[in-house]
């Protein structure tokens, strides 16, 4: 098992890994043509730092580096390099909106890359829509997505709305129940932020329809330091499966508490952060069999090349869910610019909604502005978080979770 450290230590470590300056950091690329100015405001401090610095910030850096090393984006026959303007949104919706408005109105960026998290994306969505900026979001999960894309056709979600994640893990549980691996007693917990609330709601609905017995159901505020009472109550319920719709610090804290208490349900499913390399580093062999949203097929040559480049530029491995989807969305942005042959954002939005793009995750297309054919449930098997649902090419078989190592 890896070195033990607290939830607060994890947030501090993630904050230190990200750039903590609140004023913009500008990377100037030299080119014979005018650069394409791309901006982002993302959490470099505050509670969302862990997610942002693990999934989106490294991929923004990698994509810019890949594009500029290749000579830039081909815009109407001219290669144009990328210039970056970035801000810290401090994990605050109001600051995110102010920073986005600054990028658009003062810095005059050509494109804006989205912030991390459902709440931050929801906050900046009206500003980006009003100014006709495509919003290709890799960490925006909401049951309202089908409704939102009808109102704002510039939003493109790389993750599914909440219901498919809830119904997919329930399908996994149904298969296990039919195979006699579990009886059907389920404990649910969730962080009471928008993403956690919606995911738990979707799972709760699917569990009820599938006639599972929910023996424990509780929420906890974002920033809760001690989650051992939650784990203790779930353990006392004698559940077969523990489902936590958590954020990265909570994901670590819940696992810590489960190991300390020797809480060993047959299914241990956690939320955002389960697919992060830091999860594997901290818990080592104890991660075996742990489930969560997402996953990937690491046998793909494109993914293997991506992992090498990610590690070279960031000094760290990507997570096994949101990271490669984030990079795929950036590839779609680049290809849409090249297909249109200009920086006309309205035409680029149209291209994103109708074209299919070749990416590291395979062909990427948006149906009603939501990415099709992405993985919904993964499981730690050895050193990788393999996709186990839905059942399509590249899926791995489910393994039994051993007791904590």
Domain ranges within the chain, ordered by starting residue: 18-161+299-311+319-371, 162-298+376-389
Cα–Cα distance between 143 and 386 in angstroms, integer?
25
Q: What parts of the chain have a pLDDT lower than 70?
A: 1-32, 405
Supply the DSSP symbol for 224.
Answer: -
Instruction: Return the structure tokens found at 343.
Output: 């920086």
Distance of CA 348 to the CA centre of its chain: 24
Cα–Cα distance between 307 and 314 in angstroms, integer?
10
Question: What number of CA atoms fall less than 13 Å from residue 247's CA on the CB side?
Answer: 31
| pTM of the predicted protein model | 0.83
Cα–Cα distance between 296 and 274 in angstroms, integer?
13
User: Is the CB of residue 9 less than 8 Å from the CB of residue 48?
Assistant: no
Supply the DSSP symbol for 314.
Answer: H
Instruction: Check if 18-161+299-311+319-371 and 162-298+376-389 are the same fold.
Output: yes
Please say whether the structural domain 18-161+299-311+319-371 has been given the CATH code 3.40.50.2300. Answer: yes
State the pLDDT at residue 84.
Answer: 98
State the pLDDT at residue 21.
Answer: 35
State the pLDDT at residue 47.
Answer: 85
State the pLDDT at residue 33.
Answer: 74
The topology under which CATH files domain 162-298+376-389 is Rossmann fold (3.40.50)
Distance of CA 194 to the CA centre of its chain: 14
Of 303, 336, 302, nearest to 319 (Cα)?
303
Cα–Cα distance between 349 and 346 in angstroms, integer?
5
Kindly report whether the peptide bond that precedes residue 390 is cis, defined as omega within 30 degrees of 0.
yes
Burial grade of 211 (CB within 10 A; 0-12, 13-18, 19 or more): exposed
State the pLDDT at residue 80.
Answer: 98
């Amino acid at each position: 098992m890896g070195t033990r450290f607290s939830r607060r230590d994890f947030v501090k470590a993630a904050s230190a890994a990200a750039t903590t300056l609140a004023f913009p950091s500008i990377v100037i690329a030299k080119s014979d043509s005018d650069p394409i100015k791309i901006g982002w405001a993302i959490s470099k401090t505050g509670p969302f730092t862990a997610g942002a610095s693990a999934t989106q910030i490294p991929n923004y850096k990698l994509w810019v580096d890949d594009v500029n090393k290749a000579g830039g984006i081909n815009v109407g026959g001219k290669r144009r390099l990328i210039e970056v303007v970035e801000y810290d949104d401090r994990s605050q919706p109001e600051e995110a909106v102010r920073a986005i408005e600054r990028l658009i109105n003062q810095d005059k960026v050509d494109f804006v890359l989205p912030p991390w998290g459902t709440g931050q994306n929801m906050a900046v969505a009206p500003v980006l829509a009003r100014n006709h900026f495509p919003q290709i979001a890799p960490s925006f999960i909401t049951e309202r997505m089908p409704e939102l894309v009808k109102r704002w056709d510039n939003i493109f979600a790389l993750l599914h709305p909440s219901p498919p994640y809830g119904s997919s893990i329930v399908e996994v549980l149904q298969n296990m129940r039919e195979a006699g691996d579990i009886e059907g007693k389920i404990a649910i917990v969730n962080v009471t932020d928008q993403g956690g609330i919606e995911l738990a709601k979707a799972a709760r609905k699917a569990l009820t329809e599938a006639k599972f017995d929910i023996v424990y159901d509780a929420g906890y505020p974002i920033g809760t330091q001690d989650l051992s009472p939650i784990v203790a109550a779930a353990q006392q319920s004698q559940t077969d499966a523990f489902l936590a719709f958590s954020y990265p610090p909570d994901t670590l804290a819940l696992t810590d508490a489960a190991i300390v208490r020797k809480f060993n349900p047959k299914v241990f499913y956690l939320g955002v952060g389960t697919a992060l390399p830091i999860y594997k580093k901290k818990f080592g062999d104890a991660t075996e069999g742990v489930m969560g949203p997402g996953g990937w097929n690491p046998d793909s040559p494109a993914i293997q090349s991506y992992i090498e480049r990610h590690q070279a530029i960031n000094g760290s491995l990507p997570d096994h869910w949101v990271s490669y989807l984030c990079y795929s969305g950036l590839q779609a942005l680049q290809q849409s610019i090249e297909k249109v042959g200009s920086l006309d954002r309205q035409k680029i939005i149209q291209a994103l909604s109708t074209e299919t793009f070749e990416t590291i995750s395979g062909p990427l297309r948006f149906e009603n502005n939501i990415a099709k054919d992405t993985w919904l449930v993964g499981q730690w098997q050895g050193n990788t978080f393999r996709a186990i649902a839905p059942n399509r090419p590249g899926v791995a078989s489910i393994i039994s979770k051993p007791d904590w190592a």
